[in-house]
Amino acid sequence: MQIKICGLKRPEDVAYVNAAMPEYAGFVFAGTKRRITPEYARQLKGQMNPDIQTVGVFVNEEISTIVQLVKEDTINIVQLHGDEDLAYIDRLQDALGAHKVPVIRAIRVQNQEQIKEAEKLPVDYLLLDAFHADEYGGSGKVFDHNLIPPLTKPYLLAGGIDCNNVIEILQILEEKNNLPVAVDVSSSVETDGVKDAVKIDELVHLVHSIYNR
């Protein structure tokens, strides 16, 4: 079971993930609350343990911006969290060319059919998150996991996951033979809006100690 800590904004955040060693760390290039600039992301990437893969989170971004961040190795994985459709994804894949990296398509879950349709997209992973009418993600809300159909495409699970519920959630999905490949957290490992070293370490080690033995 892998872990993604999303929304890193400070050198301290990078130090926290370097200490805890989740598999992925996310830079957000959209919204306002956790958004950072490409230039600042480059600086943070330079301070990060190279064994941690960096994920760029985008909402309806210009494809050229994504390609540049991939080419310069600021991000290792692309996460699309907006209204990007099949045509957009095809254009992105073409533009990446020889620099192709894994692409994640985030879905703000409302029903099973929505997830089944998303599974047909030419992406490597889905990310299933809670739906919120006014936000593209990061609401910190849990959604009904009974809405997750059997999937052939690997998926990441987000939405209100924390140390108090992560093992129970994963156990329920494991009983259904429908485990995600990773859990994705952001606000649940923060205190007063900034990343908390203790919360990050606790969640990473809790999940790894049970699922990665």
The set of catalytic residues is 6, 129
| Cβ-contact 126, 107 below 8 angstroms | yes
Q: Could you tell me which residues come within 8 angstroms of residue 209 by beta carbon, excluding any fewer than 6 positions away?
A: none
The neighbouring-strand residues paired with 6 are: 26
List, in sequence order, the alpha helices (H) in the chain: 11-20, 38-46, 63-71, 86-96, 112-118, 166-175, 197-211
16 three-state secondary structure: helix
Cβ-Cβ contacts under 8 Å for 124 (sequence gap 6 or more): 102, 103, 104, 153, 154
